[in-house]
Structure 1
């Protein structure tokens, strides 16, 4: 039996810790831009504030310091869970990319056209 990828194990653990996380994020997305509800760019699955609401339990509740990292996990995994793309680089390509110096700023527009 093939071992499950670590990212999928983390996704399952987060779903177990926050059972309504994905439903809540989907609800935020369905209300996006509605009257009285915030809007955000198309490239953004859901703002981090949506993940904060999941981890905090919503309302005026705060996220305890020891769970602050969960906000980023919920935000990132919320978007990733849709396609669950896992990219594996050829070792030679990886070494070439890592060895390539970044001598200037990367155009932000290029980051909006990554494979997805």
Structure 2
């Protein structure tokens, strides 16, 4: 029988990575920077968020990836519920050239 280990707040063994791909209308990039500058403050301070970064395609400034690291799937799900409800980014849809694509990745032992 293996011993039960105490929870370690620095242990990321249950952490997940989320990539959110966003494609904006070319004339909306300046507005997108403003909208996300504000919106990502809430993301970064949301319970369970370990890191949130925005990476931009070097050849297309309207193509972004939001890189998020969460303590657990449950933390990510709570955040998604927040964004679907009271934290919805109402200014986002008119800026988009295509629907956002979210992919969640689990860590492996590889």
TM more than 0.5: no
Q: Which has the higher strand share?
A: 2
**Larger relative contact order (CA 8 Å, sep ≥ 6):** 2
Q: Which has the higher helix share?
A: 1
Larger radius of gyration: 1
TM-score (norm 2): 0.23
TM-score (norm 1): 0.22
